[in-house]
Amino acid sequence: MTQEEPRRQLASVSPPACFCCPSVSTIVSSVTTILLFCFVFVSSIPSASLAFSNNLPVHTLLLCRHGDSVWNGGQPGCEERFTGWTDVELSQQGCQEAMEAAAQLASYFYDIDCIFTSMLQRALDTTDACLTALGNNQKELPPVICDYRLAERHYGALQGLVKKDVEEGNSVFGYCPDLVEKWRRSWHTQPPTLDDNDERRIMEVDRLAEICGGAHNVPKGESLAMVAQNRVRPFLNEVVTPALNLAAKLKSQLSQKNVEEELTAGLVVAHANSLRALIGCLCEVEDDPVALGILESLRIPTGVPLVIHYQQLPNGRFRACPLPEPDECLIQDNWGYFNKPKEAPPNLGHPNLPVWPLDTCIPLEERTRADFFSAFANAAEDTYSRR
Catalytic residues, by residue number, are: 66, 152
Task: For residue 83, say whether it is annotated as part of any ligand binding site.
Answer: yes
> Which of 335, 10, 47, 8 lies closest to 141 in space, CA to CA?
10
Task: For residue 184, say whether it is annotated as part of any ligand binding site.
Answer: yes
Q: In this structure, are residues 357 and 306 in contact, taking their beta carbons and an 8 Å threshold?
A: yes
Q: Name the H helices within 44-162.
A: 92-106, 121-135
Task: For residue 319, say whether it is annotated as part of any ligand binding site.
Answer: no
Measured distance CA(278)–CA(282) in Å, rounded:
6
Task: For residue 89, say whether it is annotated as part of any ligand binding site.
Answer: no
CA 379 to chain centre: 23
Task: For residue 154, say whether it is annotated as part of any ligand binding site.
Answer: yes
CA 82 to chain centre: 20
- Number of Cβ atoms within 10 Å of the Cβ of 253: 19
Q: What's the chain's length in residues?
A: 387
One-letter amino acid at 184 equals R
Task: For residue 387, say whether it is annotated as part of any ligand binding site.
Answer: no
The DSSP-derived string for 16-78 is PGGGSSS-HHHHTT-HHHHHHHHHHHHHTS-SSPP--TT-PPPEEEEEEEPPPBTTTT-STT-
Task: For residue 87, say whether it is annotated as part of any ligand binding site.
Answer: no
Task: For residue 233, say whether it is annotated as part of any ligand binding site.
Answer: no
Task: For residue 25, say whether it is annotated as part of any ligand binding site.
Answer: no
What does the DSSP 8-state code read for residue 69? B
User: How are beta strands 306-312 and 329-330 bridged, if at all?
Assistant: unpaired
Q: What is the C-alpha end-to-end distance of the chain, expressed in Å?
A: 43
Task: For residue 68, say whether it is annotated as part of any ligand binding site.
Answer: yes
Task: For residue 152, say whether it is annotated as part of any ligand binding site.
Answer: yes
Task: For residue 216, say whether it is annotated as part of any ligand binding site.
Answer: no
Provide the 3-class DSSP secondary structure of residue 28.
coil
Task: For residue 108, say whether it is annotated as part of any ligand binding site.
Answer: no
- Number of Cβ atoms within 10 Å of the Cβ of 273: 24
Binding site, annotated residues: 65-72, 83-84, 122, 152-155, 163, 184-185
Which residues carry a binding-site annotation for substrate?
65-72, 83-84, 122, 152-155, 163, 184-185
